[in-house]
Structure 1
């Protein structure tokens, strides 16, 4: 099936702030053939995001950031999550520019190369956000401290971990967000190739 197999009957803007919420009435072609009934669906309209895992191939370390996340407040004993450097594409920028800018803002790191991992929808049942995921080459010596933009309310602590320790944190659930899990597992699978080309 293709985009042409969906008929948008009506689209209503329900909320517009930093994010938007739209309500769509639509119908789509069904696998048995023919168009299905009209459905009502809310859509969380977000800017696309860029997430990057800073990786030091010389030391075999990754740089992770820790910050408060309101989405984890009610469902986690600790709403300060270990994550990748990340930001929204909210200006006229390409994803690679966002990755490099956010690495400086959030971790005081310069990325000397970017390796695209994938692009994916984190929650396509109700959001149109698409994530651009990268590994970024960095020098982790001296990395650490607290960073972020004060005018955006950012309070971000930087951690340098051996890759094996980060993978253990995925296994035991200390790292529990999709972008971090995907990037760390990808790096575990492709570590030899990445180190070979970046060392």
Structure 2
């Protein structure tokens, strides 16, 4: 279809981009125009853009025992909006080197949970908050053995204090349903596994 109601805008004109803050993360102010669905260009609009490294998240899964490994750690972003800012999450890390996402998945699993992953299954790649951030997430399922997995992990130089726990898949899925797990990447991964679990167990067992 080619009418204006179904055309796909593509043009963006950056008029000015200014860095307002630069620390571990960056904040840019962008003045831009973009193509409109009805045709033509928008007026100049101002947007603040939270610039951060892309992320890799991996849900370790033992297909023999039907168990997942989840971690708990303090998250400052949940400080004002959650009763408990220690969130239940997946293993995750930022792409702040020239490593590939798969390499980071393996390294972070070892650093954060003491896990060796035998294989990775790509789940999804997505923007978690594109209205104000350029972060891009690479999401994986990681094959592992949960035997003997537990303890406190993380890198002292990164101020990481991470508790590792093994969950039955049914308990993890129930925690999503109950809202006990309340971060997007973990919810997406567990729901994906719920939809694809038979196929995964068939190929990985």
TM more than 0.5: yes
2:9–2:36 CA contact under 8 A, matched in 1: no
Work out which of the residue numbers 112, 121, 134 in structure 1 matches 2:118: 112
Give the alignment's Cα RMSD to 1 decimal. Answer: 0.6
SS at match of 1:182: helix
Alpha-carbon distance in structure 2 between the residues aligned to 1:125 and 1:101: 30
Work out which of the residue numbers 141, 157, 168 in structure 2 matches 1:162: 168
2:9–2:35 CA contact under 8 A, matched in 1: no
Which consecutive unaligned segments of at least 5 residues does structure 2 have? 1-7
Work out which of the residue numbers 10, 13, 26 in structure 2 matches 1:7: 13
SS at match of 2:31: strand
Alpha-carbon distance in structure 2 between the residues aligned to 1:121 and 1:50: 12
Which consecutive unaligned segments of at least 5 residues does structure 1 have? none
Report what 1:86 is aligned to. Answer: 92
Report what 1:149 is aligned to. Answer: 155
Equivalent positions of 1:1-199 (< 5 A) are 1=8, 3=10, 5-199=11-205
Alpha-carbon distance in structure 1 between the residues aligned to 2:168 and 2:58: 17
Alpha-carbon distance in structure 2 between the residues aligned to 1:34 and 1:198: 52
Alpha-carbon distance in structure 2 between the residues aligned to 1:124 and 1:33: 23
Stretches of 4+ aligned residues off by more than 3 angstroms: none
1:33 shift after superposition: 0.6
Output the TM-score relative to the length of structure 1: 0.98
Output the TM-score relative to the length of structure 2: 0.96
Alpha-carbon distance in structure 2 between the residues aligned to 1:51 and 1:62: 14
SS at match of 1:154: coil
